C-alpha cells in the first residue's frame, strides 16, 4: 500500500497529529481541521521546491548534490527521479517555460524540456556564470521568477557580519543573466522570498547575525516597496539595533524596518503567500514561513525555530506571528528541520524537511470545506 494511503488511514484516527502515539518520528501538531501526510521520505537533503507545468515537483538539495523530481506528486503514488547529480550545493530551483533552473553558488544551470524527459534528463546547461562568490558562507541560493518575468537571486554576506561590496543583496536579471539590477541591499542572508498576490511586491526572509547573545538580534520578514531599498545590514538589525562594530556605517533610521521581527536565530528560510482556496478564507493572502531552527543558542535558552509559522497580515502590516506546524523538536532532540513551503495546485501546502529527506503535505479537512469561509 502506498505510504500516503497508509498515513491517510492513520490520520483519520489521530486527526491533526502524525504519527500516532508510540510511532517513530515527529509528533506533528497543527491547528484544528488540518491534517498532514507524507509525499516522500526518499529525498535526502530535500530543500527548495518548484512546480513544473505538468504536476512534477522539483526539489533541490545542498550536501546531497542532487535535484529530484516527483512525477504526479499529489497522486498518492508519485514516481521519483534524480534529474541532476554531482552538482555544487544545488539548493535553489525554479521552473519557467518548460525549463528547470538550478542555482549553484556561482552559477545558474538549466535543464530544458526536462519534464518530458525525466527518465533520461538532459545535461545541465550553464546559463549564468560568475555570480558573486567569496568563501562559500551563505553562498547557497534560493531562486524564483517574479511576476515581472525576471529571475531573482540572493547573494548572501560571506561572513557573520561584515561590509563587502557586491554581497548582502537580492538581484534580479533576465533568465540569461543579462540586465542585472539590485532589488534589495543590506540583506544578510535571504533563503526565501515571494510576491504579494495583490500588490506584486517582493517580500523576503532574512537570517539575523550571530554572536550577540541568545535573544539578539531577531531574524526578519521584509517587504520591498521600491527597487534598491536598503534593509540595514551590517549596520542595523531588526530595525532598531545598531551593530556594535558596523553601526557607524549608517543609522537605523535610514534602513527599511522589518514588517515583522521573527524569533532570534530561528533561521527563517522558505516563505509563501497562501493563494489556494482549500484552506479557510482567514488564511488567504497570509504568509507561511519555514523556520529551519537555531544552532547557536545556549542550552539554557533552548532552541528556536524548527517549525512552520504563520504571519497574519492586514494589508502590508503584520498583525500576528504564531506557530502553524510544530513537532520537529522533542525537548532538545531535533526530529526534523523545515526548509521550504509551497502551495500545491489542489490548495494543500507542501513543506520540505532536509533532516528527514521528506516532503509533507498539509490539507484542510475540517467541517464545511466551503471555499468562501
| pLDDT tens string 62-73 | 999 999 999 999
> What CATH number is attached to the domain comprising 276?
2.120.10.30
Q: Is residue 196 part of a domain?
A: yes
pLDDT in tens, 129-166: 999 999 999 999 999 999 999 999 999 999 999 999 99
Instruction: Report whether pLDDT(97) > 70.
Output: yes
H or E stretch including 69? strand 67-71
What is the pairing mode between strands 181-185 and 229-230? parallel
Range of the domain at 175: 3-364
Give the C-alpha separation, 210 to 218, whole Å: 10
- The 10 Å CB-count burial string (b at 16+, else e) for 162-194 is beeeebbbbbbbebebeeeebbbbbbbbbbbbb
Does the residue 369 lie in any domain? no
Establish if 49 belongs to a structural domain: yes
Give the pLDDT score at 369.
Answer: 55
Is 372 inside any structural domain?
no
Q: Is residue 93 part of a domain?
A: yes
Residue 368, pLDDT score: 55
Whether 371 is covered by a domain: the verdict is: no
DSSP letters, 72-137, are TTTSSSPEEEEEE-S-S---EEEEETTEEEEE-SS-EEEEETGGG-SSSPPPPEEEE-----SSST
pLDDT at 295: 92
Q: Decide if 128 is inside a domain.
A: yes
Q: For residue 3, with 0-12 CB atoms within 10 Å meaning exposed, 13-18 middle and 19 or more buried, which class applies?
A: middle
Q: What is the count of structural domains for the chain?
A: 1
pLDDT at 19: 40
Beta partners for 236? 242
Amino acid at each position: 500500500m502506498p505510504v500516503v494511503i497508509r498515513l491517510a488511514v492513520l490520520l483519520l484516527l489521530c486527526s491533526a497529529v502524525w504519527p500516532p502515539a508510540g510511532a517513530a518520528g515527529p509528533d506533528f501538531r497543527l491547528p484544528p481541521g488540518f491534517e498532514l501526510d507524507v509525499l516522500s521520505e526518499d529525498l535526502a537533503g530535500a530543500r527548495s521546491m518548484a512546480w513544473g507545468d505538468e504536476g512534477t515537483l522539483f526539489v533541490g538539495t545542498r550536501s546531497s548534490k542532487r535535484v529530484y523530481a516527483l512525477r504526479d506528486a499529489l497522486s498518492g503514488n508519485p514516481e521519483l527521479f534524480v534529474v541532476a547529480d554531482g552538482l555544487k550545493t544545488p539548493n535553489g530551483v525554479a521552473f519557467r517555460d518548460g525549463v528547470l533552473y538550478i542555482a549553484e553558488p556561482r552559477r545558474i544551470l538549466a535543464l530544458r524540456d526536462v519534464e518530458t524527459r525525466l527518465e533520461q534528463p538532459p545535461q545541465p546547461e550553464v546559463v549564468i556564470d560568475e555570480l558573486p562568490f567569496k568563501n562559500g558562507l551563505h553562498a547557497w541560493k534560493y531562486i524564483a521568477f517574479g511576476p515581472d518575468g525576471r529571475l531573482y537571486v540572493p547573494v548572501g554576506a560571506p561572513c557573520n557580519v561584515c561590509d563587502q561590496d557586491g554581497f548582502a543583496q537580492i538581484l534580479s536579471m533576465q533568465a540569461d543573466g543579462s540586465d542585472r539590477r539590485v532589488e534589495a541591499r543590506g540583506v544578510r542572508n535571504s533563503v526565501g522570498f515571494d510576491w504579494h498576490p495583490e500588490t506584486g511586491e517582493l517580500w523576503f526572509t532574512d537570517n539575523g547575525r550571530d554572536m550577540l547573545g541568545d535573544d539578539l538580534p531577531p531574524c526578519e520578514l521584509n517587504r520591498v516597496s521600491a527597487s534598491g531599498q536598503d534593509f540595514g545590514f551590517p549596520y542595523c538589525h531588526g530595525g532598531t539595533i545598531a551593530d556594535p562594530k558596523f553601526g557607524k556605517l549608517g543609522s537605523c533610521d535610514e534602513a527599511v524596518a522589518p514588517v515583522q521581527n521573527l524569533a532570534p536565530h530561528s533561521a527563517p528560510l522558505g516563505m509563501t503567500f497562501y493563494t489556494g482556496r482549500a484552506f479557510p478564507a482567514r488564511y488567504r493572502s497570509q504568509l507561511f514561513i519555514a523556520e529551519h531552527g537555531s544552532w547557536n543558542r545556549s542550552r539554557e535558552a533552548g532552541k528556536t525555530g524548527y517549525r512552520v509559522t504563520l504571519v497574519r497580515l492586514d494589508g502590508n502590516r503584520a498583525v500576528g506571528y504564531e506557530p502553524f506546524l510544530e513537532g520537529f523538536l522533542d525537548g532538545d532532540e531535533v526530529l526534523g528541520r523545515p526548509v521550504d513551503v509551497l502551495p500545491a495546485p489542489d490548495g494543500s501546502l507542501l513543506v520540505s524537511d532536509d533532516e528527514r529527506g521528506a516532503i509533507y503535505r498539509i490539507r484542510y479537512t475540517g467541517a464545511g470545506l466551503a471555499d468562501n469561509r
